[in-house]
Structure 1
Amino acid sequence: MAINNVNANDKSAWIRINQLGYSPVSVKVAVLGSKGNQKFKTFQLIEVSTSRIVFKSKTSKNYGAYGPFASSYRFDFTKFKTLGTYYLKSGSTQSPEFQISTDVYAGTSDFVLNYMRQQRSGFNPYLKDSCHTHDGYTLYGPMPEKTHVDVAGGWHDATDYLQYATTSANATYHLLAAYRDFPGVFTDKHLANGLEGTNGMADVADEAKWGLDWLLKMHPRDDWMFNQIADDRDHAGYRLPNKDSVDYGYGKGTGRPVYFITGEIQGFKKYKNRTTGTSSTAGKFASAFALGSQLFSKSDQQYAEKLKLKSVSAYQYGLIKPGVSQTAPGTAPYFYEEDNWVDDMELGAAAIYQLTHEQKYFDQALQYSVQEKVIPWMGTDTARHYQWYPFHNFGHYELAETSDPVNKAKLISYYKEGIQKVWDKSKNNAFYRGIPFIWCSNNLTTSFAIQCVLYRKLSGDTTYIELEQATFDWLFGLNPWGTSMVYGLPGSANADTPVDPHSSLTVLQHYPLDGGLVDGPVKGSIFANLLGIKMHEADEYMEFQSDLAVYHDDSGDFSTNEPTMDGTASLVYLLAAKESQSGEVVAPKK
């Protein structure tokens, strides 16, 4: 709901802010976008309780046109550090109210976990019911066609109920890494099954284990690995997961198809993928298992040992046929078009090296690292759907953490090269936006912010801190539409967040999707050419749409307003990082 798109007087200019607020010691910037001819030379920061001007400054240069705006300015109030509630004003245009506080990010990563629990397959704690318990029967494997395998569990990928090993393993890794790197920000308010209660384990660890348990089912033997459950026959209309009859072309009562990783092209109908090997998915399995083994070694040694063995067997599966394992389409041309795999094998090898300290894994990880120094989407204007996935390479960070100074410097330089590519595209617009407006642009945004965090942690270099903050701010309202991209966050009454996402849960029952990160804006040309989109309501953001990018808070727009499980899991890591660092003084280089 676009409730913050109202100005005090001027109806042709808007000040965009991070609706979560700002840490007193962080970079603090807002952006004014104007459709008029007025020039904005100064701005004021005004305390809400007293209406007193507490800070004033010159605006930035006019960055010119961007999206729907004819002119745009950056308002930098980083120097102001006093806690309180404020709004910004320039001329007759004022921003929504916001806080400067040390706890603006407190509890946000735990809040986002609500969506992960809601996406659980098998037993779903949100619905307090079970779904998809008969999964599934095999396709493409060495076993007889339609052999039953027990793969119930895991998470639904998005609004539909497909389940992909590649996104689930990446999500699991992010949850594990968040627990490892920022344990102090997480609480214990849920049981292992997701219901309310305490079990002596942080909720993020419970959620990560839910992912690990499913991945173990998807890699039941050293020579068996599965890539996905279900296919686009799933797209048969809105229904709750616990009311899914699993009778949409699969065969009633048999569960859903489970696709075996063969390293060969797959697709059950007209459309086929471009699979070339086994490595991209197997590498993700290996890294999740290895990190899980490290983190559960003290609480459950037997489980940790099992994960250790599985990490090695998964890595070996990735060596069977080097290449990518793309997801399988069917009746529609849409699938995850992943075209890179050395990043996955690098992270897998690095994680196993951290676990076993066997030198061969370090050496192999280092060899993989030089084959793809920069994720290829960085610095570009477009890419195919999930073409370069994951959207940042965690392997460089994990390898650098255990490297000698020379190799560490090289790995850091790879991160810097990618960040610089994005900065070169960002620095000439007021939003510092250099990330392509492709499907799931918010996932790329989250990943890029994480790469900036990891780079800064490894190097101590704050050169890109304003870009890092701008990327984070974008997700919570500092964008042309003035809306947060996370359902229910922030939770204040005057916040502008998605309320009408593309989801059976909301369309059928008006259930909230607390914590879900929606896909985010796409190019106008992408939106215009997608199949099956039908808008249901008047567009409250009409005046902020442009050929550059569109975003709709409408359940009919699956391209911009569908929450994704893996993007949300990545956001858990990013928010945990921001919360843990909210008291740190991080100043940009001048």
Structure 2
Amino acid sequence: MKNNHQLLIILSALLLVLPCRADEWIRINQLGYLPRSIKVAVFMSEEESIVENYTLVDAFTNETVQTFHAPRPTGKSGSMKATYRLDFSDFTTPGTYYLKAGKAISPHFPINPHVYNGTADFLLNYMRQQRCGYNPFLKDSCHVHDGYIVYHPTKTGQKIDVRGGWHDATDYLQYTTTSANAIYQMMFAYQENPESFGDAYDAAGLPGANGIPDIVDEIKWGLDWLNRMNPVPGELYNQIADDRDHAGMRLPNKDEVDYGYGPGNGRPVYYCSGEPQVRGKYRNATTGVASTAGKFASCFALGAEILKEYYPELAAEIGGKAAAAYQEGVKKPGACQTASVKSPYIYEEDNWVDDMELGAMELYRMTGDGNYLNQAMEYGRREPVTPWMGADSARHYQWYPFMNMGHYHLAKAGNQRLSREFIRNMRTGIERTYEKAVESPFLHGIPYIWCSNNLTTAMLTQCRLYRQLTGDNTYAEMEAALRDWLFGCNPWGTSMIVELPLYGDYPSQPHSSLLNAGVGNTTGGLVDGPVYRSIFESLRGVNMTGIPGTPGQDYERFQPDLMVYHDALHDYSTNEPTMDGTACLTYYLSAMQKEGMEQAGIRCDHNRYVNGGIVRTDPSKKQITLVFTAADKADGADAILRTLKKHGIQGGFFFTGEFYERYPDIVKRLLDDKHYVGSHSYGHLLYMPWENRDSLLVTRQEFEQDIRKSYETMRKAGIDYKDAPVFIPPYEYYNKEIAVWAKSMGLQIINFTPGTMSNADYTTPDMGTKYRSSRFIYDKIMEVEKKEGLNGHLLLIHFGTDDRRTDKFYNGYLDKMIKTLKRKGYTFVPVREAVGI
């Protein structure tokens, strides 16, 4: 035993000193790419490597679809001795592909117009999680006693109602600085791209549509709080709580920190005094209130416009406060910094003219008063370029917001000379960043200070707005690189948004009390991103400790020389989600969804989704889609085809591999009649146990193998997978993991609209109380139609049923149902037309 133990020690030591095998990788945008967009991957190798060509391969057929030559070499990067940019932008055919270069093969990725669908709404998951007051994620309330005024000349110690808003990050502090910027960015996103946002949650953040876009619900939540932080004209507040909050990880509804008012019994609310504030040994450098006042003004002015359709009283109230807030900034110019007590970490904002510029522009847009336009112009000329752009470093949030939205509005103000001036300012900031970016294989010229992903999002936004204003594509490749960086085209090959995409590599251990407590992940949250190694090594308490029992991911093999990124619970410098960064990304992702819809020729996605699957098409249209599934039975073929032909209806048919192999003649008849014929999987697998939908019975590899085999069988029947991009899962049963695995393959799950029980036509009399006769099903469909309508319904009927069921719905009742619904004014729409794919 002793000799064996010594041998193991020697072998282990040898393994430590022996070099690892050099390897190669291709980094991609894991979400995928729009067909008509810039598409560039990055090849990197740990050894000297010359790449002369690279190929794009169809992931379903493994056939090379295009070979590209002369990739752009971009030199050494950290431990990578060779890197190349692999440009395949000219390839625009929708499908699912992977890249091959050298010895490396990329993960597969889709190219289609729908890859960004739902992504902006996905970010709102994190915003709802961050709600203070009633928290829909926890279904409980927190911080209901806020708060007690500090630093007011006459009201210090008084109680003030400032419930609501969002927690800033993993701690429970709340700042006007970041919250107001988050509100403004979400309002701008909705104003520019309203068609990209859906309605799946109510005003409280709980599941259930309320007739208001979810992003407007979130905007309203933020504006309610901001309104409380400005109770009367001229009285502005900047912060709730301080760093005494940093008392260990706990859930917000279990927060018992004592600020001197009793454990959990209210927190300090900092008044905008315009003077330095200190409670302990740390003193901020406040010089005025204009940075905060400008944010109040811009949010209230734009908020009055955004909310007037849904909340006219609140819209009028905040609209009436906008000018007064702005005047506080005029009276007390300067920056209003946040305050700390125990540590030196604060938001060190020291610019403010950008906030006043934006406030003046929104007041000009609201009132038409030219004086505001002139003031905005004067403020804008005092800071032509946001100073971090092109800089190597900056203090924490020193120049904030990270992008000057006022410049964009001045450039659109209708004065050509003014437009040229402020477009030039926008271009200068981009050019300064571009000059640094060209040194990186990832075309990423962002300084790696704390919250570098927020800077990435800001520059991404500025690039897109500049391109829209001018039509100048000079920086379009950098814009694409910044976007792709956030979704995995970076040294680490990881997305920077939690669970987006769920099928990819993403932060699995973000710095989060929710994760630490085991109650869930920070779904949709944008994490801080890489920081200079020197910053990471200088911070207090930051470390690589992961979730108990799961080590943190240090990505040591991929760390560049000067910066680091980790996926570890206790690395709050690179792996902490932030509310403002997440909100700021809603504009760009909604713009990408809108661009995809334009490429697809679709005006708006009105489909209703459950767990990523479409369960209803546009509920505003009096349309129905008939879909049919089958695993191994086809006894309904003649009756169904005869009935559909009689009524001139094109149905959607979804079959297993066994069906395609058994009934090739029926498949041919369906294709000849121009019906949609798609996949119902190959092996009719049960993906999840019936008693636990959140677990899985198959691995991703097993799922993909089954789907590939399904489409290989369909290809033999003359159906290319690109012509069958929607599929119904076996047993009509799936969860969010299955839906995103399908999306990664370029496929969209659809399913029947629940409620009508049309899918119960497979039941047999021996099932007892679960049996549903054809008459019962028909009556139920008509009952639902009378009560709530069938607009957008996907009605599912089985193509064949067990011989024990002699009462076949397709024999008579299908025809009767179609006749009745046509008389009621419904049209029957083909599946792809109905879902818009």
Which category of TM-score, normalised to the shorter sequence, fits these structures? over 0.9
Q: Provide the residue aligned with 2:596 in structure 1.
A: 582
Aligned ranges 1:22-33 → 2 under 5 Å: 22-33=33-44
Three-state SS of the structure 1 residue aligned to 2:72 is coil
Are the aligned partners of 2:238 and 2:270 in contact in 1 as well (CA < 8 Å)? yes
**1:81 Cα deviation after fit:** 0.7
The CA deviation string for residues 530-573 of structure 1, in whole angstroms up to 9 with x for no partner, is: 11112212535110123321111000100000000000000111
Are the aligned partners of 1:524 and 1:546 in contact in 2 as well (CA < 8 Å)? no
Q: Provide the residue aligned with 2:508 in structure 1.
A: 499
Q: Provide the residue aligned with 1:521 in structure 2.
A: 530
The CA deviation string for residues 442-492 of structure 1, in whole angstroms up to 9 with x for no partner, is: 000001100011111111211111010100100000000000000010122
Three-state SS of the structure 2 residue aligned to 1:582 is helix
Give yes or no for the alignment of 1:337 onto 2:351.
no
Query: Quick one: which amino acid aligns to residue 19 of structure 1?
Result: Q
Correspondent of 2:141 among 130, 134, 155: 130
Query: Quick one: which amino acid aligns to residue 477 of structure 2?
Result: E
Query: Bigger CA drift: 162-171 or 241-250?
Result: 241-250
**1:302 Cα deviation after fit:** 2.5
**1:23 Cα deviation after fit:** 0.4
Aligned ranges 1:398-417 → 2 under 5 Å: 398-417=409-428
Correspondent of 1:555 among 569, 574, 589: 569
**1:253 Cα deviation after fit:** 5.0
Three-state SS of the structure 1 residue aligned to 2:86 is strand
Structure 2 regions of 5+ residues with no counterpart?
Answer: 1-19, 546-550, 600-837
**1:252 Cα deviation after fit:** 2.4
**1:350 Cα deviation after fit:** 0.1
Q: Structure 1: how far apart are the matches of 2:407 and 2:357?
A: 8
Q: Structure 2: how far apart are the matches of 1:212 and 1:145?
A: 24
**1:63 Cα deviation after fit:** 1.2
Are the aligned partners of 1:354 and 1:402 in contact in 2 as well (CA < 8 Å)? no
Q: Provide the residue aligned with 1:454 in structure 2.
A: 465
Aligned ranges 1:140-539 → 2 under 5 Å: 140-247=151-258, 251-492=262-503, 495-536=504-545, 537-539=551-553
Give yes or no for the alignment of 1:37 onto 2:48.
yes
The CA deviation string for residues 173-201 of structure 1, in whole angstroms up to 9 with x for no partner, is: 01111111000010111111111112211
Indicate the percent of aligned positions where both proteins have the same amino acid.
54
Are the aligned partners of 2:163 and 2:225 in contact in 1 as well (CA < 8 Å)? yes
**Aligned residue pairs, count:** 575
Q: Which protein has the larger Cα radius of gyration, Structure 1 or Structure 2?
A: 2
Q: Could you tell me the TM-score, scaled by structure 1's length?
A: 0.95
Are the aligned partners of 2:358 and 2:405 in contact in 1 as well (CA < 8 Å)? yes
Are the aligned partners of 1:34 and 1:69 in contact in 2 as well (CA < 8 Å)? yes
Are the aligned partners of 2:167 and 2:579 in contact in 1 as well (CA < 8 Å)? yes
Query: Bigger CA drift: 84-93 or 233-242?
Result: 84-93
By relative contact order (CA 8 Å, sep 6+), the higher-ranking structure is: 1
Are the aligned partners of 1:67 and 1:549 in contact in 2 as well (CA < 8 Å)? no
The CA deviation string for residues 8-36 of structure 1, in whole angstroms up to 9 with x for no partner, is: x9842211000010000000000011120
**1:299 Cα deviation after fit:** 3.3
Aligned ranges 1:558-577 → 2 under 5 Å: 558-577=572-591
Query: Quick one: which amino acid aligns to residue 135 of structure 1?
Result: D
Are the aligned partners of 2:291 and 2:353 in contact in 1 as well (CA < 8 Å)? yes
Structure 2 vs 1, CA of residues 79 and 141 (structure 1 numbering), >3 Å: closer, same or farther?
Answer: same
The structure with the greater share of residues assigned to helix is 2
Query: Bigger CA drift: 551-560 or 296-305?
Result: 296-305
TM superposition outliers: structure 1 runs of 4+ over 6 Å = none
Are the aligned partners of 1:250 and 1:257 in contact in 2 as well (CA < 8 Å)? no
Query: Bigger CA drift: 471-480 or 455-464?
Result: 455-464
Are the aligned partners of 1:133 and 1:255 in contact in 2 as well (CA < 8 Å)? yes
Are the aligned partners of 2:181 and 2:580 in contact in 1 as well (CA < 8 Å)? yes
Query: Bigger CA drift: 143-152 or 94-103?
Result: 143-152
Query: Quick one: which amino acid aligns to residue 525 of structure 1?
Result: S
Query: Bigger CA drift: 558-567 or 57-66?
Result: 57-66
Are the aligned partners of 2:56 and 2:66 in contact in 1 as well (CA < 8 Å)? yes
Are the aligned partners of 1:85 and 1:99 in contact in 2 as well (CA < 8 Å)? yes
Query: Quick one: which amino acid aligns to residue 214 of structure 2?
Result: D
Are the aligned partners of 1:137 and 1:254 in contact in 2 as well (CA < 8 Å)? no
Three-state SS of the structure 1 residue aligned to 2:355 is helix
**1:219 Cα deviation after fit:** 0.6
Q: Provide the residue aligned with 1:4 in structure 2.
A: none
**1:96 Cα deviation after fit:** 0.9
**1:297 Cα deviation after fit:** 2.5
Q: Provide the residue aligned with 2:91 in structure 1.
A: 80
Three-state SS of the structure 1 residue aligned to 2:226 is helix
Correspondent of 1:95 among 106, 121, 129: 106
Structure 1 regions of 5+ residues with no counterpart?
Answer: 1-8, 586-590
Q: Provide the residue aligned with 2:778 in structure 1.
A: none
Q: Provide the residue aligned with 1:6 in structure 2.
A: none
Aligned ranges 1:54-69 → 2 under 5 Å: 54-69=65-80
**1:59 Cα deviation after fit:** 4.0
Three-state SS of the structure 2 residue aligned to 1:581 is helix
**1:336 Cα deviation after fit:** 0.3
The CA deviation string for residues 411-442 of structure 1, in whole angstroms up to 9 with x for no partner, is: 11110010000111111321101000010000
Q: Could you tell me the TM-score, scaled by structure 2's length?
A: 0.68
**1:98 Cα deviation after fit:** 0.7
